[in-house]
Amino acid sequence: MRPARPLAERRPRRAQISAEQLASLSHEFRTPLNGVLGMARLLEGTRLTAEQRSYVAALRESGEHLLGLVNDVLDFAKLGETGVELRPGTVDVEALLRSVCELLSPRTREKGLEIAWAAPAGLSRIRADEGRLRQILLNFAANAVKFTEAGGVLVTVARRGGVLRFRVEDTGPGVAEAARESIFEAFAQADPAHAALGGVGLGLAIARRLAAAMDGSVGVESADGGGAAFWFEARFETVAGPAQPSALAGLTVGVASPSAIVREAARRQILACGGRAAAAPDAESLLAATGPGDVVLLDHRLASGRRAMRPPSDRRAIVLLAPEERSRIARYRELGFAGYLIKPLRRASLAERVLAAHGAAANHQNGAEDERVAHAAAPGARVLLVEDNPINAMLARTLLAREGCAVDHARGGEEAVAAVRVGRYDLILMDMRMPGVSGVEATGRLRAAGVATPVVALTANAFEDDRHACLDAGMDDFLVKPLSPDALRAILTRWTGRDSDKAGPVREAAAR
């Protein structure tokens, strides 16, 4: 009889098998979940009774909870097996905060909350691993949304010397001082009473591991409003970039909103643009704090019932709207508002609209329409969808059609290469894992043939290494399944020619 191998000899092979199978496990878990969540989102967009809508919402929320558990468990396991590999590059800090907030904005609005961001003047670019930094902020912000029932979440950054401190503040229940260290341990819960909200206590543990890899630290403290303020800080090298002009220098801009989160974010963004800021919870108080000729931002949430607000007679006014309130833009323009801004607010858009309303420069018009309220993000764009799963393909085709795209569907990599030989496309959405010719291999063939059409990966894997693999393979960007309408709109805007100035950083990342 052959003697059994010692246990010590067997352990390395077991660990190796576990590491190699993580990506496959992620794909196998996520693929059916993508179909469940995608179909639930489509169903929510149909005519339903109130009872049916509540059932579908429960179905979607349960699926999202399960998907979050899968992501956390597999990501934690992978970090433990392989460690953290950093890929430093140039990071636009404002764009990072903006992307985190806009990604979580739909979920935040579903709970009746606000999410907003702000960065100080002069803080532009740093050298860091953008994906890992985003992962920390998303963990903090998603946690904040989960535990907050009223109010909202504010994401900010501050610089002290060469150290940057990122802070995610909420208006939730806060974290007891006795639990502020233990909650960053794996499988820890700050308060058993909140266990029903879901989670296995891995998100914060992952954030601490990532922070340690950047020679940084994480922690939590009490927010000014009594909620929790999670922070991450580390020393980052500043990258020289174009100077930010003080676009609002000499101007006073007021903001009125029932949300303290919206008021504080707008106040900080106005200051970052060089302006003077006034903030109030209602229009009457704001008018007392500003003067004739000043520009004021009025949140639509101040309107009573279904009646639209009217602008003050002696001030130029801009209305603040959520993306789903886009149908109100025309009415507010008829009433005399000088423009609109979409929440979460963007600093550059705020400055542009305020200058246009103030008439400070002849070349400042109402500005381009915010793509978050466009009825179709890419009307007439020809898109090649490469997806072997019929349910995922149905979801993607439906969402693309809503954005005005003409869609051809290829069911595999070989079919995709053949389609590009005979047709011309504005964008290719390429599934990463397909039988036969994979998305990576198909993209390599297209690039070798000189095809320069933007290729966006459709990946079921949430690991940062998988996202970098998309870029290293010659793809230009990636979308994580299940597809969300907001994420798809952003990709279409970026890569079909309407927002070409935003494509640069992603192409640089792909080249590294």
**What is the C-alpha to C-alpha distance for residues 165 and 300, in angstroms, rounded to an integer?**
32
**What is the C-alpha to C-alpha distance for residues 145 and 103, in angstroms, rounded to an integer?**
12
CB 464 within 8 A of CB 378: no
Q: Tokens representing 405?
A: 């795209």
**What is the C-alpha to C-alpha distance for residues 168 and 223, in angstroms, rounded to an integer?**
9
**What is the C-alpha to C-alpha distance for residues 186 and 200, in angstroms, rounded to an integer?**
8
- The per-residue pLDDT for 500 is 39
- Among 378, 481, 379, CA closest to 430: 481
Q: What confidence tier does 304 reach under pLDDT thresholds 50, 70, 90?
A: confident
Q: Look-up: residue for tokens 């199978």? A: 21
Q: Which residues contact 123 (CB under 8 A, 6 or more apart)?
A: 93, 94, 157, 159, 164
Average pLDDT, the chain: 83
C-beta atoms surrounding 454 within 10 Å: 20
The amino acid sitting at 475 is M
- Among 280, 297, 290, 287, CA closest to 252: 290
Q: Tokens representing 294?
A: 């000043």
Q: Average pLDDT of 227-256?
A: 90
**What is the C-alpha to C-alpha distance for residues 308 and 328, in angstroms, rounded to an integer?**
8
Query: What confidence tens digit (pLDDT) does each residue in 211-226 have?
Result: 999 999 999 999 987 8
Angle between helices 390-402 and 7-44 (to 10 degrees): 40
Query: What confidence tens digit (pLDDT) does each residue in 158-187 have?
Result: 998 889 999 999 999 988 888 878 888 865
Query: What confidence tens digit (pLDDT) does each residue in 457-479 have?
Result: 998 765 566 677 778 888 999 88
* pLDDT higher than 50, residue 58: yes
**What is the C-alpha to C-alpha distance for residues 470 and 465, in angstroms, rounded to an integer?**
9
Cα 38 off chain centre by? 18
The DSSP result for 356-397, as a single string, is HHHT-STT--S-PPPGGG-S-SSTT-EEEEE-S-HHHHHHHH
Among the listed ranges 259-273, 352-366, 406-420, which one has the minimum average pLDDT value? 352-366
Q: Which of 42-46, 176-180, 207-211 has the highest mean pLDDT?
A: 207-211
Number of H helices, E strands in the chain: 15, 18
What pTM, to 2 d.p., does this model score?
Answer: 0.75
**What is the C-alpha to C-alpha distance for residues 349 and 369, in angstroms, rounded to an integer?**
10
Q: What confidence tier does 82 reach under pLDDT thresholds 50, 70, 90?
A: low
**What is the C-alpha to C-alpha distance for residues 383 and 189, in angstroms, rounded to an integer?**
45
Give the β-pairing of 237-239 and 228-235: unpaired
- The per-residue pLDDT for 327 is 86
Length of the chain: 512
- The per-residue pLDDT for 320 is 96
Strand-pair partners of 155: 117, 168
Q: Which of the pair, 377 or 336, is modelled with greater confidence?
A: 336
* pLDDT higher than 60, residue 504: no
- Among 449, 451, 414, CA closest to 431: 414
CB 416 within 8 A of CB 442: yes
SS3 of the chain: helix, strand, coil, percent, to 5: 50, 20, 35
How far lies 226's CA from each of 112, 168, 229, 280, in Å?
19, 13, 9, 20
The most distant pair of C-alpha atoms in the chain lies apart, rounded to whole Å, by 97
